């Protein structure tokens, strides 16, 4: 019987075979959802010009001394400054009509809002004169160059996923192109002659192919691109051809099913049929000390362009697919995308980053680390909790409470309860049972 290896050891094997892909510079219009590959500094200040914060009249503050509604100061209007125009210098003793965001004329040091004059707001012909009914102070309603960001200031750090707001900010500081991490191309392959398309009528012994949809969605949720989704029957020959086609446009192939010791598991049959460096498919299988997801495999597929495309082979049960993707494939995608490249400070995903308390107790599999899909819940009541759980555990250190999404815990086939899962609770291999109130490390799920 093959020995089980720790998850960390297996993950190290998988990651050791992967090298980061090259990123590239893309226009901001195509950068949404991508991840910055370098720190960004401002090319231009924000605002780039000293400008008006109000619709009104640009003035020298000293020219409005003493102005009030009873004794307004009357100034001739020497020009109009719409947004986007380069104004003429402001002559002493005059005013220029100015719009919000328009560049402040040289010589002006304040803006009197239109409501503090005798002019009506809105589109009207430029007046010859304006009554100033409120004295201005230097800097009134003026936004100075670089008030928000100065040229050369740090704006955004490498590793930032570019939202619409982030892209807007980058445009504001003068960027047109940004260096982004590569978007990993992933081919999804589900194996099994029993699989049928979603919604198709089921014949005896057949099941819906839910794994291909699950994997394609997880790929997208982790910032990669699913280039193809294919299905293979239970023969080594059929699978080899499907993998060859999948490799054509992919940086990584992820399969589900066919990794156990069954008589019709195609991946294990393919591994036995094709051995040696000349083989177009190279696969290694191991048993990992985790539940669910014990049978795992990885290797490479020779593409038609002679690239060795890495492949990660997951078990076929849906909860196993979710757990294995989160703990193995997600770190692999991050490695290919350069997330943990030299100089980077970001940890790989798939590791616990939160802590919670168990709201219910359950038994655990002996000798294997358990990953239990859980959801956040209310603190257990006194009549539903163990007698040794005191009320101060409700708040305690501010930890949330969690409960398994299904009463059967981490069973690999419990697909119907997966949508309720918000995280994976990690139970160490040496723990025989989880008790109410026990602290549990949590791995957040991508869509939670």
- The pLDDT tens digits for 238-287 are 888 999 999 999 999 999 987 876 555 678 778 776 666 678 889 999 99
Please check whether residues 201 and 330 belong to one and the same domain: yes
Whether 391 is in a domain gets the answer no
Burial class (CB in 10 A: 0-12, 13-18, 19+), 245: middle
Please check whether residues 157 and 34 belong to one and the same domain: yes
Please check whether residues 236 and 373 belong to one and the same domain: no
Q: What's the confidence (pLDDT) of residue 414?
A: 55
Total domains in the chain come to: 4
Please check whether residues 121 and 166 belong to one and the same domain: no
Please report, for residues 101, 138, 141, 312, 313, the alpha-carbon distance to residue 110 in angstroms, rounded to integers and kept in the order given.
13, 5, 6, 65, 68
Whether 159 is in a domain gets the answer yes
Please check whether residues 129 and 229 belong to one and the same domain: no
Please check whether residues 36 and 163 belong to one and the same domain: yes
Please check whether residues 28 and 99 belong to one and the same domain: no
User: Residue 408: which pLDDT band, with cuts at 50, 70 and 90?
Assistant: low
Q: What's the confidence (pLDDT) of residue 396?
A: 58
Query: What is the CB-side half-sphere exposure of residue 36 using CA atoms within 13 A?
Result: 22
| Per-residue pLDDT tens over the stretch 55-83 | 999 999 999 999 999 999 999 999 999 99
Boundaries of domain holding 151: 24-46+147-180
Cβ neighbors of 171 (< 8 A, separation 6 or more) are 28
Whether 390 is in a domain gets the answer no
Please report, for residues 193, 224, 235, 376, 390, the alpha-carbon distance to residue 247 in angstroms, rounded to integers and kept in the order given.
21, 15, 18, 39, 56
Q: What is the mean pLDDT of residues 31-39?
A: 91
Domain termination residue (choose one: 115, 143, 171): 143
Please check whether residues 229 and 269 belong to one and the same domain: yes
Polymer length of the chain: 448
Cα of first residue to Cα of last residue in the chain, in angstroms, is 38
Q: What's the confidence (pLDDT) of residue 262?
A: 57
- Beta-carbon neighbour count of residue 74 at 10 Å? 11
User: Residue 407: which pLDDT band, with cuts at 50, 70 and 90?
Assistant: low
Whether 349 is in a domain gets the answer no
Q: How far apart are CA 175 and CA 9, in angstroms?
A: 42
Q: How far apart are CA 192 and CA 264, in angstroms?
A: 9
- Beta-carbon neighbour count of residue 267 at 10 Å? 27
Domain termination residue (choose one: 180, 204, 231): 180
Domain CATH code at residue 97: 2.170.190.11
Collapsing DSSP states into helix, strand and coil, what is residue 270?
helix
Please report, for residues 379, 386, 393, 398, 399, the alpha-carbon distance to residue 390 in angstroms, rounded to integers and kept in the order given.
11, 9, 6, 15, 14
Q: What is the pTM of this model?
A: 0.78
Whether 347 is in a domain gets the answer no
Residue of 167 and 385 predicted with greater confidence:
167
Residue that has been written with the tokens 């078990």 in this structure = 315
Q: What's the confidence (pLDDT) of residue 298?
A: 96
Please check whether residues 156 and 35 belong to one and the same domain: yes
Across the chain, mean pLDDT equals 89
Domain CATH code at residue 154: 3.90.105.10
Please check whether residues 372 and 416 belong to one and the same domain: yes
Q: How far apart are CA 297 and CA 275, in angstroms?
A: 15
Q: What's the confidence (pLDDT) of residue 96?
A: 98
Q: What's the confidence (pLDDT) of residue 278?
A: 72
Please check whether residues 37 and 110 belong to one and the same domain: no
Please check whether residues 41 and 14 belong to one and the same domain: no
Q: What is the mean pLDDT of residues 200-207?
A: 86
Whether 267 is in a domain gets the answer yes
């Amino acid at each position: 019987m093959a020995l089980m290896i720790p998850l960390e050891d297996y993950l190290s094997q998988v990651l050791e075979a992967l090298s980061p892909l090259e990123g590239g510079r893309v226009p901001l219009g195509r950068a949404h959802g991508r991840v910055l590959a370098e720190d960004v500094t401002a090319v231009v200040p924000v605002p780039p010009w000293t400008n008006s914060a109000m619709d009104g009249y640009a003035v020298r503050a000293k020219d409005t001394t003493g102005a009030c509604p009873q004794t307004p100061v009357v100034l001739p209007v020497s020009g109009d400054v719409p947004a986007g125009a380069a104004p003429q210098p402001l002559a002493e003793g005059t005013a220029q009509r100015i719009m919000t965001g328009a560049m402040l004329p040289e010589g002006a040091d304040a803006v009197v809002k239109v409501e503090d004059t005798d002019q009506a707001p809105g589109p009207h012909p430029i007046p010859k004169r304006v009554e100033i009914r409120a004295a201005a102070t230097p800097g009134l309603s003026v936004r100075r160059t670089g008030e928000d960001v100065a040229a050369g200031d740090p704006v955004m750090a490498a590793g930032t996923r570019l939202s619409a707001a982030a892209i807007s900010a980058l445009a504001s500081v003068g960027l047109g192109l940004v260096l982004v991490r590569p978007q990993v191309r992933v081919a999804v392959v589900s194996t099994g002659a029993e699989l049928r398309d979603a919604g198709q009528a089921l014949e005896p012994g057949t099941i819906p192919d839910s794994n291909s949809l699950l994997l394609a969605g997880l790929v997208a949720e982790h910032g990669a691109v699913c280039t193809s989704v294919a299905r293979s029957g239970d023969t080594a020959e059929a699978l080899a051809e499907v993998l060859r086609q999948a490799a054509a446009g992919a940086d990584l192939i992820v399969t589900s099913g066919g990794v156990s010791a069954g008589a019709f598991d195609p991946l294990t049959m393919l591994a036995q049929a094709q051995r040696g460096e000349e083989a177009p498919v190279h696969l290694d299988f191991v048993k990992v000390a985790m539940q669910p997801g014990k049978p795992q495999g990885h290797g490479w597929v020779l593409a038609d362009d002679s690239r060795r495309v890495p492949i990660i082979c997951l078990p076929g049960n849906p909860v196993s697919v979710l757990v294995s993707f989160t703990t193995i494939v997600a770190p692999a995608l991050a490695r290919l995308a350069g997330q943990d490249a030299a100089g980077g400070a970001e940890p790989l995903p798939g590791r616990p980053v939160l802590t919670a308390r168990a709201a219910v107790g359950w038994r655990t599999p002996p000798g294997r680390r358990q990953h239990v899909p859980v959801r956040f819940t209310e603190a257990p009541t006194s009549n539903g909790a163990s007698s040794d759980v005191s009320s101060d555990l409700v708040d305690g250190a501010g930890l949330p409470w969690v409960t398994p999404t299904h009463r059967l815990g981490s069973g690999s086939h419990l697909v119907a309860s997966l949508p309720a899962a918000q995280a994976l609770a990690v139970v160490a291999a040496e723990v025989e049972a989880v008790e109410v109130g026990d602290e549990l490390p949590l791995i957040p799920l991508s869509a939670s």
